[in-house]
């Protein structure tokens, strides 16, 4: 049985992960495509790693949620760098920071609340 708070945290974790995925696809496909690299290469490098934990996240596997939070930190760093460097896509970088922070913080809280007592 899951507590209402754990269901809420799980939903926030999924929202952060899927929001990051959706943002990156939209960002590099049509909102502000990279002028230096092909779109397919940018999507391959940035979006493909987000599919690795997707199955475990959808099945509420604590271990997958825990290690996917490390992946969220990479996207947090990417968002900070993009927000600092690019004036034209600063708002997209800040949105990525927000979504990856949501993913990380709610994922860690979910893992902590669902931990079995030692």
Closest C-alpha to 14, from 83, 68, 78? 68
The reply to whether the predicted model has a pTM over 0.85 is: yes
pLDDT tens-digit map of 1-55: 566 799 999 999 999 999 999 999 999 999 998 888 899 999 999 999 999 999 9
Closest C-alpha to 72, from 2, 12, 7, 8? 12
């Amino acid at each position: 049985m899951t507590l209402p708070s754990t269901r809420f945290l799980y939903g926030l974790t999924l929202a952060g992960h899927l929001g990051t995925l959706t943002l990156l696809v939209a960002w590099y496909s049509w909102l502000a495509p990279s002028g230096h690299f092909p779109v397919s290469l940018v999507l391959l490098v940035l979006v493909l790693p987000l599919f690795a934990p997707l199955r475990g996240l959808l099945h509420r596997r604590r271990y997958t949620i825990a290690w996917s939070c490390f992946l969220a930190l990479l996207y947090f760093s990417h968002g900070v760098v993009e927000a600092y460097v690019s004036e034209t896509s600063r708002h997209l970088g800040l949105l990525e920071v927000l979504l990856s922070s949501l993913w990380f913080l709610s994922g860690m809280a979910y893992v902590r609340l669902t931990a079995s007592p030692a």
